[in-house]
Amino acid sequence: MLAFVAIILVACSPSENAVVVGDNTPPTDPGAPVSGGHLRVALEGETNNWLPGRGNHVAPAALTVAMALFDPLVKLDHEGRFRPYLAESITPNDEFDAWTLRLRPGVQFHDGTPLNAEAIKWNFDNLHKRPGSVTYGSIRDVESVEVIDDLTVVYQLSQAIVPFPDMLTRAVGWPVSPAAVERLGDEAGLYPVGTGPFELVEWRRDDRMELQRNDNYWQDGLPYLDGITFRPLPDEDARLASLISGDMDVIQTLRQHIVARLRGLSGIHLYEQVGNSSGSAIFNAEVPPVDDARVRQALAWALDPEALIEVLGGHGITPMQTQYFNENNVWYSPRVAEAWPHSNPQKALELLNDYMNDPQRSDGLAPGDPVSVEMMCLPEQSLIDLAQMYQAFWTAVGVNVRLRQIEQATQVQSAISGDYMITCWRSSNEQDPYTIMTSDYGPPDVQPLNYTNFTHPLLDEKIEVLRLEPDFDERYAAVEDIMMLFTEQVPSTWTGSTPAAVAVQPRVRNIKGWTFPDGTPGDGMPVAQVSWAQVWMLDEEAWQAEQAEQAAGD
């Protein structure tokens, strides 16, 4: 049954179509693992809270730090199939409305508290199944967690969910120490205590996070590193410079123009993975005038996505995006790609005029008055340029456009609270379509991750198919119907696929090649999210020996 269910999750398979040139290609054989060393990692942003269920852990920087602090109960393998990771097994009943999860024995949190069934239930009850939790909407169909014995729980669902284990790959499946949370109270988000390969030493927000090796880690011999220092460096050029200068050992980026520059550098190793993440602009469907589908569609028709990709420096790096999934993914639909609205200013003008001359127009202005919108975006130079190009395209069809700069942490909170009209965005779509759609488009009153506040009866109907149907063809048809709906309703626009890139000093190894405990290859580094337990760095002696061997071979 598990093998049968796993087939439907093949859609999450990471794309391996990235091209790396020059002498910055990582070695095919990274060599034998080496223990020791302290890694310095520069990230694209900071996170406001590290407690799963309270912090919003969807940004790539947050995800990659989380993989050092926490272990997911379930992870995806190289074929996109879910497999138990921190859990030992997960199996459904015949109706798929109860899932039994068995934990590995002997696992402890960083504070020595045992990871047991009671801890899993406590996490669910106190961090996730409570109004106000950012994960509450994602698990609204999970009624309870029932403790069977010390290592076994059953997730009792209010209705069948065929791809349920996929939900446990993200924050809902990152257990933290109940004892630590109860002891720390409101400050628990400042002092995360998970089961991950590294534990917190110090966090100075907006400066650095110091982690040290978890000596009681459940995987023997791991992690290899003694410690990691994470530093948020939101400025892309500064982050790149920190690698070139040797101040940092690892940097992450999801910006096309930085990837283009990295491809031309020698003296580094560059890892790339193009998945389903993509650049976009999302609309708040509860705020006039973008609450009207005519306006949203007009704004999409006015855009030239290839020009937007060009301003991001992405020409030749990533393809244009027209839907949630890129053209190498099994869920991709050519029919949707053909229907996606773009590059037709005349069509945009027709739709805008229809809205402007409507006596019942939602913004309350008089018929004939021009449409005015506000777009917020981050103060990073490539995104400033991007926002200005959006402004230029929309101004060209008569829309008044105000731009507002906002920091990433504030942007995410504004999106959660609905305090915005339009914002530049990045969609991370590396999970099962059901998980994605229930997160992105659940009822706004219970799903804070529905940033667009968009709802539609057809969307609800097709999500039900994704929830219940194990047959891939039926699920594909449902995904295609949803994507076709979006070509008409346009809850967001698309630019291009986002390249996930991690660049490292050559001594750093195995950024992408992590495996499950049984040796099954994992899903690499989607959205530049690294599994740090299996990363190592060569010591000076080993590094010099490798260089000498290479020189002799040349």
Q: Coil, helix or strand for 508?
A: strand
Greater confidence, 370 or 7? Answer: 370
The CATH number of the domain covering residues in 277-498? 3.10.105.10
Strand partners of residue 373? 401
Greater confidence, 21 or 315? Answer: 315
CA distances from 406 to 126, 287, 348, 375, 425 (A): 32, 19, 28, 10, 12
pLDDT over threshold 50, residue 520: yes
DSSP 89: E
Q: Coil, helix or strand for 110?
A: coil
pLDDT over threshold 80, residue 119: yes
Percent of the chain with pLDDT over 90: 71
Q: Mind listing the pLDDT tens digit for each residue in 291-346?
A: 999 999 999 999 999 999 888 877 777 788 999 988 878 899 999 999 999 999 99
Q: Which residues contact 189 (CB under 8 A, 6 or more apart)?
A: 48, 49, 50, 51, 54, 55
What's the rounded mean pLDDT across residues 487-492? 98
Q: Which residues contact 19 (CB under 8 A, 6 or more apart)?
A: 272
Residue 200: which pLDDT band, with cuts at 50, 70 and 90? very high
Query: Are the beta carbons of 493 and 470 closer than 8 angstroms?
Result: no
Q: Mind listing the pLDDT tens digit for each residue in 224-275?
A: 999 999 999 999 999 999 999 999 999 999 888 899 899 989 899 999 987 7
Residue 553: which pLDDT band, with cuts at 50, 70 and 90? low
pLDDT over threshold 60, residue 401: yes
Four-point Cα dihedral 483, 488, 492, 498, nearest 10: 40
**DSSP per-residue letters across 120-185:** HHHHIIIIISSTT-TTTGGGTTEEEEEEEETTEEEEEESS--TTGGGGGGSGGG----HHHHHHHG
Greater confidence, 408 or 76? Answer: 76
Task: Give the position of tokens 């940097």.
Answer: 251
The upper half-sphere exposure of residue 175, i.e. CA atoms within 13 Å in the direction of its Cβ, equals 27
What's the rounded mean pLDDT across residues 28-50? 93
Predicted pLDDT at 168: 95
CA distances from 145 to 125, 128, 129, 161, 279 (A): 8, 11, 10, 15, 36
Q: pTM value?
A: 0.77
pLDDT over threshold 60, residue 504: yes
Closest CA to 298 of 361, 206, 207, 213: 361
Predicted pLDDT at 279: 81
Greater confidence, 320 or 110? Answer: 110
pLDDT over threshold 90, residue 125: yes
Length of the chain: 554
pLDDT over threshold 90, residue 543: no
What's the rounded mean pLDDT across residues 473-488? 97
Distance CA 48, CA 32 (A): 37
Residue 554: which pLDDT band, with cuts at 50, 70 and 90? low
**What average pLDDT does the chain have?**
90
Percent of the chain with pLDDT over 70: 95
Predicted pLDDT at 484: 98
Residue 159: which pLDDT band, with cuts at 50, 70 and 90? very high
Give the domain ranges of the chain.
277-498
Distance CA 127, CA 105 (A): 23
* Count of other CB atoms within 10 angstroms of residue 161: 24
The upper half-sphere exposure of residue 271, i.e. CA atoms within 13 Å in the direction of its Cβ, equals 25
* Count of other CB atoms within 10 angstroms of residue 532: 27
Query: Are the beta carbons of 251 and 239 closer than 8 angstroms?
Result: yes
Q: Which amino acid type is present at position 83?
A: R
